[in-house]
Amino acid sequence: MSVQERKQRERAERERLIVATARELAEQQGWDAVTTRRLAERIEYSQPVLYSHFRGKREIIGAVALEGAAELAGAVRSATSAVHGPRERVAALARAYLDFAALNPAVYDALFQLDGGLAYAQEHTPEPLKDAFAALLESLGEVAGEGVHPGLFTEVFWASLHGLATLTRAGRLLPEDAAQRVELLVDRLAVV
**3-state secondary structure at position 61:** helix
pLDDT band at 3 (very low <50, low <70, confident <90, very high): confident
Cβ burial of 26 (10 Å; 0-12, 13-18, 19+) is buried
Residues, the chain: 192
Q: How confident is the model over 144-167, as pLDDT tens digits?
A: 999 999 999 999 999 999 999 999
Query: Is residue 15 very low, low, confident or very high in pLDDT (cuts 50, 70, 90)?
Result: very high
User: Which pLDDT does position 34 carry in this prediction?
Assistant: 97
> Which amino acid does the sequence have at 120?
Y
Alpha helices for the chain (secondary structure H): 3-29, 36-43, 47-53, 57-81, 86-103, 105-112, 127-140, 150-169, 178-189
**Tell me, what's the pLDDT at 189?**
87
- The mean pLDDT value for 49-66 works out to 96
- pLDDT tens, residue by residue, 167-183: 999 999 999 999 999 99
Average pLDDT value over all residues in the chain:
95
Q: Are 77 and 35 in contact (CB under 8 A)?
A: no
| Closest C-alpha among 110, 18, 21 to residue 64 | 110
CB atoms within 10 A of CB 46: 11
| pLDDT score at 143 | 94
pLDDT the model gives residue 170: 95
Burial category of 115 from C-beta neighbours within 10 Å (exposed 0-12, middle 13-18, buried 19 and up): exposed
Contact (CB, 8 A) for 34 and 25:
yes
Residue range 95-105: mean pLDDT, rounded: 98
Q: pTM of this prediction?
A: 0.93
pLDDT number for residue 22: 97
Q: Whole-angstrom Cα distance, residue 107 to residue 71?
A: 10
pLDDT at 101: 98
